Amino acid sequence: MIKTIIDNYFQNDDQKTGLMLLSLPTGSGKTHNVINSIYDRIPSLAQHQKVFFITNLKKNLDLEKLEGCYRAAGRGQDYQNEVLQIKSNADYIQKILEIQIPEQFKKESYRKLVKIINDLKRTEGYIKKSQDPHVGHIFRDNKDKILGDIRLKLEPEFRKFISSELKKNFNTPNQKLDAIKNNSTYQWIGELYPSVYTKERKVFFLSMKKFLSQHATLIEPSYHFLNNPITENAVIVLDEFDSTKDTVSNHYIEEALNYRGEILSTFKQIRSGLNNEQISKKIIISKGPIKEQLEALRHESNRIYDEFLLNLSYKTNEGDIDRNRNFLFHSDTFISILSKSKDYIRTTPNIAEGNNMLISFESHDRYNKNANYQIDVSLYSLLRQVNNFIRRFRRTVFLWAQTLVSDTMNASDQGGGEPQIEKIISTIYYDFSLTEDVVHFLMKDIEGRYTSRKKEKQPLRDTSFYTNGFN
């Protein structure tokens, strides 16, 4: 009965999007039946359509069960070609001691990795042998430090080196993948980093953290699954959904913490760049729609700047909030728990005490008494418009860079290495005189964020909660 319900949902090709909640007690066979239904669905998947099985519980990553379905049907070899367990690159790299790697790739980044992974293996051995809890604790702390060094520094350095070697010798992702599959010099890369086969595989098993994080394949720019065409029309199974909620919230908190900038400062830097004389000359010589979009952005930035009096500093009335009760929120903002029923926000020019905009949190009665709709500013509207402007700016720069890449490839008659769109985009951003932290923020997930929108002509919609509410 359970499998029939799941099969009917999986096989309903007329239903392009939707959500099915399968709330059943532990032990009722949910995971078992989902695995069987996934296997039955694979032959009828449309071209490029994928299945994602997401769970935080390792015991539910039932790869052996799915492999058993393949073997029972005499398709054991197909399992290797269709199914991929996606791990972090720091997990993949720990197999480096077991893989034969050509001497030409054994540079300094490789030697550092081999040394630290040998240290990791020794430390894990000490932990197993240790009888003293205090000594064991020391070794576990050392293991955590080693894993941190691998994840944050050594593995990314080695991966960057491998990616650069592939770019030197092959122009396109397909050429790189073909070399990894068929050229003995590069086959070890697929063994060490199975994620290079992501576009070819049909079924993925992974954690929620990995599903939300950037996915690096070495043969193309990194992307997020949620922002990439790979998840369009995909079947996505969230196993034990309740256990993933903390992972989701922690992910977005970490993302907000990683950007230390301030959104109004970011907007002001972009506006200044758009009005810069040198940038204006580049806009003039830009082609067709790019020129029009950049001009529209310049006018839009000036309108927002004037309408919301951004020549003034925005300051909070310190007496209205409790600084001990601030909470980070998705999309580079924060929320505060207000005290004393001060649940109305009023933003107004404060010329008397200094050229600034004073943000006050007031009670209903005080708000109605003080409100002056002729000069007060809507803070929600400001943040909404600024966020939407920044998204449009990022997309326009991406399209501008694509145009430059296309011109470069045409001029060189497809010769040379692969045009690196990230470098072109970062160069454009620096031409706008943006600071390094702002450029880093704007560069996040550039390929995945816009690839699926290449053919869209309409501007990006404002998809914020304040515009759309809950569905």
Map out the domains of the chain as residue ranges. Answer: 1-86+198-243, 95-194, 265-297+384-465, 313-376
Contact 93, 160 (CB under 8 A): no
Least confident of 6-10, 318-322, 382-386, 462-466: 462-466
Q: What is the pLDDT of residue 462?
A: 46
> Per the structure block, which two tokens stand in for 69?
């379905």
Contact 6, 37 (CB under 8 A): yes
The pLDDT of residue 258 is above 50: yes
Average pLDDT, stretch 133-138?
Answer: 84
Rounded CA gap, 387 and 399, in Å? 19
Contact 367, 344 (CB under 8 A): yes
For residue 454, name the pLDDT band (cuts at 50, 70, 90): very low
Pairing between β-strand 321-329 and β-strand 333-338 as defined by DSSP bridges: antiparallel
Contact 348, 378 (CB under 8 A): no
pLDDT digits (tens, 9 = 90+) for 215-243: 989 998 888 888 788 988 888 888 877 77
For residues 27, 29, 30, 31, the Cα torsion angle rounded to the nearest 10 degrees is 100
- DSSP, collapsed to helix, strand or coil, labels residue 343 as coil
Least confident of 175-189, 259-273, 385-399: 259-273
Residue 440 or residue 182, greater confidence: 182
pLDDT digits (tens, 9 = 90+) for 409-428: 555 444 444 446 778 888 88
Compute the radius of gyration of the chain from its Cα atoms: 26
Alpha helices (runs of H) in 101-154, residue ranges in sequence order? 108-129, 133-149
Closest of 442, 428, 392, 397 to residue 266, by C-alpha: 442
Contact 17, 234 (CB under 8 A): no
Q: What are phi and psi of 106, to 5 degrees?
A: -90, 65
Using a 10 angstrom Cβ sphere, with 0-12 exposed, 13-18 middle and 19 or more buried, the burial of residue 204 is buried
If you write DSSP's letter for every residue of 154-171 in order, what string do you get?
IHHHHHHHHHHHHHHH-S
Pairing between β-strand 313-316 and β-strand 356-362 as defined by DSSP bridges: parallel
Residue 44 or residue 194, greater confidence: 194
Q: What is the pLDDT of residue 65?
A: 86
For residue 329, name the pLDDT band (cuts at 50, 70, 90): very low
Contact 278, 431 (CB under 8 A): yes
Q: At what angle do helices 379-411 and 421-431 cross, to 10 degrees?
A: 130
For residue 453, name the pLDDT band (cuts at 50, 70, 90): very low
The pLDDT of residue 79 is above 70: yes
Q: At what angle do helices 421-431 and 436-443 cross, to 10 degrees?
A: 140
Average pLDDT along the chain: 80
- Exposure letters 122-157 (e unless 16+ CB within 10 A, then b): ebeeebeeeeeeeeeeebeebbeebbebbeeebbbe
